[in-house]
Structure 1
């Protein structure tokens, strides 16, 4: 297992800090990738931050009400090293790949469009 620290990301517009509004997880909880972890409030909005890792919550670095600077630790997650080992292997470079059959061209007809009047009569 390895420990991954999730830092408060830059939530936009040059904001440098955010307040912890609500934790959606607790120490010991098992989390999945993109599972909501915490709600933070900036000067402009309340934002729900998803987990960038799957694993077990090892530590919450701040309490509700704390103001956290951007790029400071929010949560530490213990990740399972075997989870990445069970992921499907990528296709090797140079490996043969089946090409999809070519699509047949579609015949289309075009009509003159008169701006403000719709399609005009060509006759």
Structure 2
């Protein structure tokens, strides 16, 4: 077992996430841990955010030397950004492993419904392209 001191999770966060993954409700977990549902919800939210940030950190380190990095600001048109990905790849003679609509879907998935309105991003995001054409959106 991994020592929790070597992770970004507290023991309580780990216990709650483990129970959530096992399919337990917040109320069930609260009862088991002798605390309130609101407390469990708050701890779970923080734990999930820590996990998301850890995953993004690993992705960022993996992509640090990828040749294309496009930083899109809030207000950017996701379709124009997708076109920019292909333009930058063409300049570097990189064949993208995805088609145009897949890139748009990747961006949309990362932004979520709350982060997108009428083709415009409501928050900043970054697109990375590897030398072999893999695309990641953060």
TM exceeding 0.5 = no
Structure with greater proportional strand content: 1
TM-score, structure 2 length as denominator? 0.22
TM-score, structure 1 length as denominator? 0.24
Whichever of the two has the greater Rg, that structure is: 1
Structure with greater proportional helix content: 2
Which protein, 1 or 2, shows the higher relative CO under an 8 Å CA cutoff with sep ≥ 6? 1
